[in-house]
Amino acid sequence: LAKTTQPISMDSYEGQEVNITCSHNNIATNDYITWYQQFPSQGPRFIIQGYKTKVTNEVASLFIPADRKSSTLSLPRVSLSDTAVYYCLVVPGLTGGGNKLTFGTGTQLKVEL
């Protein structure tokens, strides 16, 4: 399973755009990039998933360069409620991996007024 590396922590202010970058140099051809959000004492919540280029939903955008060795989660105009840990995962595609998710250290995002 591809290992991911992301910053341990980030600080921001309300209304700012936050970009969290994750590196996954050993990503395989069939792997997808998935981001989860976790609040204290809660289970992780799916945010977004992508394979290449750009994916956008109502919560975030995910940018993936052509070599797919990194990805950037973009959170537009964050609020205090976005304070959480964000995990970047590389998920094996349907053809392999057994659906196991490997969580890295995650990035603790702290949003202040």
* Contact set with another protein (CB under 8 A): 32, 36, 41-46, 49, 87, 91-94, 98-106
- Rg for the chain, CA atoms, rounded: 14
User: Judged by CB, which is closer to another protein: 66, or 100?
Assistant: 100
Say if CB 64 and CB 87 are below 8 A apart: no
CB of 95 to another protein, least distance (A): 10
CB of 17 to another protein, least distance (A): 25
CB of 105 to another protein, least distance (A): 6
| Signed CA dihedral, 89, 92, 93, 97: sign only | negative
Task: Report the 10 Å Cβ neighbour count for 104.
Answer: 15
